[in-house]
Amino acid sequence: MEIFGIPLQAMLGQLLLGLVNGSFYAMLSLGLAVIFGLLNVINFAHGALYMMGAFLAWMGMEYFGINYWCMLIAAPLIVAAFGILIERTMLRWLYKLDHLYGLLLTFGITLMLEGIFRSVYGVSGQPYSVPEALSGATNLGFMILPNYRAWVVVASLVVCFATWFVIEKTKLGAYLRAGTENPKLVEAFGVNVPLMVTLTYGFGVALAAFAGVLAAPVIQVSPLMGSNLIITVFAVVVIGGMGSILGSILTGLGLGVIEGLTRVFYPELSATVVFIIMAIVLMIRPAGLFGKEK
């Protein structure tokens, strides 16, 4: 069976790969949006922390023989602790200054993390095998579905919607949203806002690390995997706007799928398509698809 001269099997395969990439975009842009909402900092280090998550998974397996499932929990926790350290010792001093200093600081952290991993492991990728329970593929009749890729999409969707639920539907989320709106007033009501800020940063970077562990078996674990991704995620954030949680998730997934389809129909454009869409969105709806004009 063929669609526009492309075998259906190849197209569905790329579509799934697009969805996988889209779930990484969604998780990373969600973390960026949550952090930006409360801290007013664009966390450039998000990509580096995603890379760190993947590396932790690989290191756990390589040096200690810790399996994928344990690292899926442990790596985000370690990265969250690291993020909390960054927030407490460095980011904290910049809140009263212009936004750009937060970006520059996290940019410096990105360079340092990348530099450290590069000097130890070089630029070539480290292979990480798919966990046994998810290896192999399921034949759905019309396509062969690699189990691991399906798991990545399902797991990230669950995490994204859980985040959405916590922020939009629970009391804790209400504090968070109030803190985003007016931190001084929330503090006056007796909520420990600085603690909330710290934990939010920790949670945001934990999401990045979780995405990193999920990504480890799909792509090769390399020190440069984060910075290549983060710039695309910035474009995703510009397209979607950071005002809406659901918006971030949908934009991330959607762009992943579009990128996957471009890879089928016009491969030369697949690296740039997200940026082209960003340019078009800026011309038509400068505030982003889900953003509010300020």
Partner 1 sequence: MNKKIAYGIALILLLVAPQVAYPVFLMKVLCFALFACAFNLLIGFTGLLSFGHAAFFGAAGYVTGWVLRDAGWSFEAGIVVGVAVSALIGLVMGMLAIRRQGIYFTMITLALAQMLYFVFVQAKFTGGEDGLQGVPRGKLLGMLDLGSDMTMYYVVAALCVCGFALIVRTIHSPFGQVLKAIKENEARAVSLGYDVDRYKLLAFVLSAAIAGLAGATKTVVIGFETLTDAHWTMSGLVVLMTLVGGLGTMVGPIVGALVIIALEDKLGDIGNWLADVSHLDWFRTLGDSVTLVTGFIFILCVLLFRKGIVGELVSVFGSRRASDSH
Interhelix angle 225-240/8-39, rounded to 10 degrees, is 80
Smallest distance, partner 1 to C-beta of residue 268, A:
6
The distance of Cα 6 from the centroid of its chain, to the nearest Å, equals 31
The one segment of 16-24, 87-95, 190-198, 204-212 that binds partner 1 by CB under 8 A:
87-95
93 binds partner 1 (CB under 8 A): yes
Nearer to partner 1 (CB atom), residue 132 or residue 293: 293
List binders of partner 1 among 43-82 (CB under 8 A): none
290 binds partner 1 (CB under 8 A): no
> x/- string (CB under 8 A) for partner 1, residues 208-227?
-------------------x
Hey, what are 69's tokens? 């499932």
Identify any residues that bridge with 145 across adjacent strands, giving them in sequence order: 138
The one segment of 16-24, 86-94, 181-189, 214-222 that binds partner 1 by CB under 8 A:
86-94
> x/- string (CB under 8 A) for partner 1, residues 143-172?
------------------------------
Q: What 3-state class would DSSP assign to 144? A: strand
176 binds partner 1 (CB under 8 A): no
Nearer to partner 1 (CB atom), residue 81 or residue 100: 100
Q: How far apart are CA 173 and CA 167, in angstroms?
A: 4
Of 57, 167, 207, 278, the one binding partner 1 (CB under 8 A) is 278
42 binds partner 1 (CB under 8 A): yes
Q: What 3-state class would DSSP assign to 95? A: coil
Q: How many residues does the chain have?
A: 294
Smallest distance, partner 1 to C-beta of residue 34, A:
15
Of 152, 123, 172, residue with least CA distance to 216: 152
The one segment of 60-68, 106-114, 132-140, 201-209 that binds partner 1 by CB under 8 A:
106-114
103 binds partner 1 (CB under 8 A): yes
* Burial status of residue 170 (CB atoms within 10 A of its CB: 0-12, 13-18, 19 or more): exposed
Neighbours of 90 (CB within 10 A): 14
Of 168, 173, 294, residue with least CA distance to 241: 294
247: CB partners within 8 A, 6+ apart: 240, 241, 288, 289, 290, 291
235 binds partner 1 (CB under 8 A): yes
Q: What 3-state class would DSSP assign to 30? A: helix
Nearer to partner 1 (CB atom), residue 7 or residue 286: 286
Of 236, 76, 245, 257, residue with least CA distance to 161: 245
Q: How far apart are CA 178 and CA 169, in angstroms?
A: 13
The one segment of 18-26, 58-66, 186-194, 274-282 that binds partner 1 by CB under 8 A:
274-282
258 binds partner 1 (CB under 8 A): no
List binders of partner 1 among 237-256 (CB under 8 A): 237-238
Residue ranges that bind partner 1, judged by CB under 8 A: 36, 42, 90, 93-94, 97, 99-101, 103-105, 107-116, 118-119, 227, 231-232, 234-235, 237-238, 268, 271-272, 275-276, 278-279, 282-283, 286-287
